[in-house]
Structure 1
Amino acid sequence: MEQAQPGSLMHPAVAPLAYLLGTWRGQGEGYYPTIISFSYTEELQFTHPNPRKPVISYAQKTWRSAGGPGAEPMHAESGFWRLKPDGSVEVVIAQSTGLVEVQKGTHDHEDKVIRLQSELVGNASKVKEISREFRLVNGELSYEVQMATNSTSLQPHLKAVFKKI
């Protein structure tokens, strides 16, 4: 089935997040007290494959910034986003590391800000909590990810800025 894009046939519940639909590419930085800081290139894809379902499909992949999309892969994840009738957002993500996240949060339609907080982090021996904030400003999508582990409190881990391609 063809994937809906903004302005085309889509489930009404998806419409407030339609600005996410498409492919985004940009640069990111990772840091944490227990690791060496690093930079990366990232691509995000948000699609709405079935206009009868109130779901956005999500796929993410990163690679070392020294190369392009064919360069050394670093991380990948995929999942689903649902905007609930009360305005809340539910997100389920499976990471290539085996870690699974169930997140819930809020969406500010006017400011185009999505704030997510983990309800469950599964299959993780060290990670205890993850939060994500997405923001659209002047056509650029950005995010910040915070993480808590067994030995550290919730603190910044990743940030990236994207342009739609």
Structure 2
Amino acid sequence: MPTSGDEAIRAAAQRAETTAKRNIPQLADLPIPGDTANLREGPELNDACLALLPLVGVWRGEGEVNYPTIDGPYRFAQQLTISHDGRPFLHHEARSWLLDAEGNVIRPAARETGWWRPQADDTIELLLCHSSGILELFYGTPKSQTTWELGTDAVVRSSTAKEVTAAKRLYGIVAGGDLGYVEERAMVGQPMTPHVSALLHRVVG
């Protein structure tokens, strides 16, 4: 449900009481600028990344994974870190873990890392590498100031990875300032089908 501008500002101020002074750990002796997930600290966000500014932070939350070929749905939790070092791209790192019905951790699950690369024509490139042996190149555009939609242009997989032919993702800042996303995938002989959805809360930035 949409919120008013005043409500969004109040929600952001309330979140900032716990998130504004947190950042990702840094090694003090690094001779080049470290990454920051807090726009109040570190290098200035590159102007090329302004369309992605709301994504910068560390996000945690829960979601559901399902597909016709698995015995799901499964509940999972995730931490997503989107950071920058002042150059015209963002670093993306997501770590997930499976949960049981009571919310207890079962085991670590999917991991992915990559780069958001905004271009001068408003196109966004998203390169993702998955621990499962999949490499994906997404292209997309901002749908609004707080929504981004992307689809794969190329998918490469290792000889031991499952067959994946295409994927789509939609990210958006929702009511209360949380980050929601949904993913569809075409894999293991199935057409493009909903696969993952999650709602993440800001914990840094």
Question: 1 or 2, which has the higher strand percentage?
Answer: 1
Which structure shows the higher helix fraction? 2
Partner of 2:193: 155
Which of 79, 84, 92 aligns to 1:48? It is 84
Q: What amino acid does structure 2 have at the position aligned with 1:135?
A: G
Give the 3 Å change call, closer, same or farther, for CA 150–72 of structure 1 in structure 2: closer
Partner Cα distance (1:15, 1:133) in 2? 18
RMSD (Å), alpha carbons: 1.6
Higher Rg: 2
In 1: Cα distance, 2:170 partner to 2:114 partner: 16
Choose the corresponding residue for 1:98, options 129, 133, 137: 133
Q: Percent same amino acid at aligned positions? A: 26
Q: Give the Cα separation in 1 of the matches to 2:71 and 2:147.
A: 29
Encode CA deviations 1:67-86: one digit per residue, 9 max, x unaligned: 36xx6201100000011111
Within 5 A, what are the aligned runs for 1:80-99?
80-99=115-134
In the TM superposition, residue 2 of structure 1 has moved relative to its aligned partner by 3.4
Amino acid at match of 1:161: L
Measure the CA separation in 2 of the matches of 1:57 and 1:90.
12
Q: How far, CA to CA, are the matches of 1:15 and 1:7 in structure 2?
A: 15
Provide TM-score, normalisation by structure 1: 0.90
Q: Structure 1, unaligned stretches of length 5 or more?
A: none
Counterpart amino acid of residue 195 in structure 2: H
CA contact (8 A) 1:29 1:159 kept: yes
Query: CA shift at 1:6, angstroms?
Result: 2.7
Within-5 A mapping of 1:138-153: 138=175, 139-153=177-191
The offset of 1:97, in angstroms, is 0.5
Q: Find the counterpart in structure 1 of residue 169 from structure 2.
A: 132
Aligned-pair CA distance for 1:105? 0.5
Structure 2 residue 72 is matched with structure 1 residue 33: no
Count of residues in correspondence between the two structures: 160
What TM-score comes out, normalization by structure 2 length?
Answer: 0.73
> What is the DSSP-based 3-state SS (H/G/I as helix, E as strand, rest coil) of the residue aligned with 1:34?
coil
Tell me the secondary structure at the aligned position of residue 53 of structure 2.
helix
- Where does structure 2 lack aligned partners over 5 or more consecutive residues? 1-32
Distance in 2 separating the partners of 1:63 and 1:7: 29
